[in-house]
Structure formats: structure tokens, C-alpha cells
Amino acid sequence: MFDSRHIKTFHEVVRTGSYSAAARALGYTQPAITQQMKALERDTGSALFVRVGRGLRLTEAGEALARHTSTILDAMSAAQEQMNALTRLRAGRVRLCAFPSANSTLVPETLARLTVDHPALRVDLLENEPPESLRRLTRGECDIALAFTYPGLHEQVPEGLVEIPLLEDQLTVLLPAGHSLARRRAVRLTDLAGERWIAGCPRCRANLLHECAEEGFVPDVAFMTDDNLAVQSLVAEGLGVAMLPSLVLNFMRHPKVAGRPLRPLSRRKISAYVLPEHLRIPATARVLDRLKAVAAAKDGC
């Protein structure tokens, strides 16, 4: 077993290139750095550095250890974050990370209900699109992550997470208000094969390309933006058509844009994700219960 302090010091020596530079960075004396490295060499049973002039060079054993130090330190940091998270959760504080359209719809209604039912519960709100939100969860940077997946993309969720399905969010085609297809009750993707497209976030863009490929054509993507209002404004000006989730249109709809459902129906799946041990903590359970209640009223929107 290695002393974690020694691993951190070793990493800093490798990064800075000398004992003296590592001492300055860590706030130690140089003799303290030297003693820690000697102790680490005793633990490993191998020399880790050799002197080359005034500098240091890693031995073969040192290079092998250096390849693992970042992983070791990242894992230790994630473990510490998760232990801190458990303490916060038991104290009634939950960090919720969600994507923008969920933060504008599901989350405010959930927080409003929690404020009435559990006024002492504190929720810190974070924002990231998936898959970054799920990575933050595995790193211990949040306690609950809301994320969406598109069934046709066969997206992988990090191992070790528990998924709580919330709702199926219908995709809607956006057309300029005067577009000839705006008179229809529903639109097929093949009807739009000759149109220019405005694409959204990377995951939504990948789904657009996949669904069009399934229908036998490659969409002409003229513009790409993660800003849902910008997407609608570009459509309103006749610069293209777009595909947006209905959840977005529940809180933001440009007056010069017509939304029409796709035929056959296309949906994205919205779920909450947590670490297994967090399910047993009342603060997490309360937030998840309210999320499920709010989502149930919007399922299939």
C-alpha cells in the first residue's frame, strides 16, 4: 500500500521536474520532499529517480508509477467527493445537475413542491448536457443527474449508476409559420429531405443525422447552435427547419414558428441517475419523488 501523500508529492515532482520546485508548489521544505520520495522508494522497492546533472530523470519503475498517478489521484478525489456528498445529503443538501430544458421545466416545478413540503431541504442547481452531467455524477460533483438519451443511438451510460426513468419527450419539427407543410397536422421526415436544417446540441444533432439516415437521406445542416431560442429564431427567419423536443416548446415558442409532430412518432427518454448508495438517503429520495411526480404530468408531451 502506498501513502497517498507520497503519491501526490511524487506526482508534483514529476510535473515540476525537481524536488525544490515541488517543495515550493506544495508548501513543503526540500528535505521533506526528499524524505517522502525515499519512503515511497522503500514502499515500491525500486529507485524512482536518477540524477542527471542538476535535474532528475525517471527510472523505468518511476515511469511505470507515473503512468498511474493521475488515475490514482483522480480516483481518490472522486472517492473523497462522494464521501462529502453523503455528508451533505444526510444534512438535507442535494446537488442536482440537469440539461437546460429540464432546468427550465421539470426542475422549477420540482423545487416549488419541495419548498412547500420540505422547506429545510436545500437543492443546489447545476447545468450540463449529457454525457458530461453523468460524468460529473460519477466524479462525485453532483448527487442527482438528469439526462436524456435517444433510443436509436444506443448510448452507453457509465457503469454503477442507477437509472430512474421519468418521461418520454416527443420530438417536434419546427417550420417557418408560412411554410407549405405548416398546414399539415403532422410531418414525415422524408417530406423535409430537401430542406436546410438548423441542428442543436451534439447529442440532438447525432439523433437528427441518425433518423434522417434511417429514412434514406442526409440532411443539409446549414447552422448548428446549442441555444434553443437561436434555433427558433433562425427557423422564424426562413433559414431552415429544425427538430426540437416538446419540453423546450412548453416554455419557449417563437410566434413566427409552427411546430408539427413527426410521423412516425420520435421521442427522447429523460431519466434521473444516482449512485446506488444515495437511494437510501432521505434527501435524495424526496427530490426523486417530486421529480417523478412532476414528470408524470408531462409524460408524452
Q: Closest by alpha carbon to 228, among 108, 99, 135?
A: 99
DSSP code per residue over 45-79: TS--EEEETTEEEE-HHHHHHHHHHHHHHHHHHHH
CB-count burial class (<10 Å; 0-12, 13-18, 19+) for 199? buried
Cα separation, 43 vs 34, in Å, equals: 14
Q: Closest by alpha carbon to 291, among 69, 44, 102?
A: 102
User: One digit per residue, pLDDT tens: the chain, 301 residues?
Assistant: 678 888 889 998 988 888 989 899 888 898 999 999 999 999 888 899 888 877 788 888 888 888 888 888 878 777 777 666 656 656 678 999 999 999 999 999 999 999 998 888 889 999 999 999 999 999 889 999 999 999 888 888 888 999 999 999 999 999 999 999 999 999 999 999 999 999 988 999 999 999 999 999 999 999 999 899 999 999 999 999 999 998 888 878 899 999 999 988 899 999 999 999 888 888 899 899 999 999 998 865 5
Cα-Cα-Cα-Cα dihedral of 46, 47, 48, 54, to 10°?
Answer: 180
Write down the H helix ranges in 119-270.
132-138, 202-214, 228-236, 246-249
Q: Closest by alpha carbon to 90, among 220, 218, 277?
A: 277
Cα separation, 133 vs 252, in Å, equals: 23
Cα separation, 73 vs 4, in Å, equals: 8
| The residue type at 105 | T
Give one word for 208, left, alpha or beta, with left for phi > 0 and alpha for psi -120 to 50. alpha
Q: Decide if 267 contacts 149 (C-beta within 8 A).
A: no
Helices (H) and strands (E) in the chain, counts: 11, 11
